[in-house]
Amino acid sequence: MQQERGVLYVVATPIGNLADISARAVQVLSEVDLIAAEDTRETLRLLNHLGVSARLLACHDHNETVATARLLSVLEGGRDVALVSDAGTPLISDPGYRLVAAARERGLKVVPVPGANAAICALSAAGLPSDRFLFLGFPPRTRSRRRAWLGEVVDEPGTLLLYESAKRVMETLQDLQAVMGDRRRLVMARELTKRFETFLVGCPSELVARLESDQEQRLGELVILVEGRRGDTDAGGSAEQERVLRILAEDLALSQAAALAARLTGAKKNRLYRLGLDLGLGAKGD
Ligand code: SAM
């Protein structure tokens, strides 16, 4: 007779407020044979709070290949495993993809146990359009790569969702302004579900000014939401339009640069002119 195989549960945990754990997550965590955790110490804190004792195995970016092999053999051996990350939903800017993909490839049963996710939590209360959105995860850390990365989504009409560390948030806000202009509404959702939960709303330069004047706003965990492109009323241009405009504005007055860039890219001259102003390219005579 064929041995029954185990189930892999992908379990979401709170992103701050421990009361957000679901009753089903607690039940699964208490019943599985093994918990695969991004950071076993972090998960132990949660389990102690819940009064659950369990066997833990570390599964993070640096050991995912070895841990995956081990976990697959546990599952093949008929034992159930729960995958958790430090906070929120595993795999979402967190480890676990390889394990889930490998489990599915082998025909193992994979069961989601849903719960908190910082991006969706932020979107649900930000007041930006939620009918269409694009989750981008963390931006690259260097300025040039970050700007190129933002340039790829400048034409996206849906709300953009970004994770960022408090350490780099100022630079990322400045790059958002440089690449998308200063007209879009941004929401910075900080410390969600925690004591100092804050939603800051404004265009990029307003948020930069707010963070400059209030150091508290540069602490903790945060999600940045960016209003999507709004057709011709949006001063943001595509990465290519901006590139052409920047080159021409090096030698020409902005009005001439915008007129020429409009002929080269097919964009409207007025929009490129406004984009140039937002990008601070308007110093040469207009
Ligand atoms: N898997 C997690 C999820 O489902 O949201 C995300 C993990 S990712 C490594 C951590 C990032 O999520 C943080 O840098 C921050 O951008 C965001 N984040 C996590 N908790 C948050 C919170 N309480 N408030 C705001 N952002 C949070």
Paired tokens of 44:
């132990």
| Residue whose tokens read 């940045």 | 224
For helices 239-249 and 269-278, angle between their N-to-C axes, nearest 10 degrees: 70
Measured in angstroms, how far is the CA atom of residue 246 from the centroid of ligand 1? 35
Ligand 1 lined by 93 (C-beta under 6 Å): yes
Helix H or strand E segment including 269: helix 269-278
Quote the CA–CA distance of 208 and 173 in Å, as a whole number.
Answer: 7
Ligand 1 lined by 88 (C-beta under 6 Å): yes
Measured in angstroms, how far is the CA atom of residue 163 from the centroid of ligand 1? 7
Measured in angstroms, how far is the CA atom of residue 113 from the centroid of ligand 1? 18
Quote the CA–CA distance of 178 and 150 in Å, as a whole number.
Answer: 10
pTM: 0.84
Ligand 1 lined by 286 (C-beta under 6 Å): no
Distances in Å between the alpha carbon of 78 and those of 33, 34, 103, 246? 10, 12, 13, 61
Q: How confident is the prediction along the chain (286 residues), in pLDDT tens digits per residue?
A: 567 999 999 999 999 999 999 999 999 999 999 999 999 999 999 999 999 999 999 999 899 899 999 999 999 999 999 999 999 999 999 999 999 999 999 999 999 999 999 999 999 999 999 999 999 999 999 999 999 999 999 999 999 999 999 999 999 999 999 899 898 999 999 999 999 999 999 999 999 999 999 988 889 999 999 999 975 444 455 777 888 898 999 999 999 999 999 888 878 888 888 888 888 887 665 5
For helices 23-31 and 40-50, angle between their N-to-C axes, nearest 10 degrees: 110
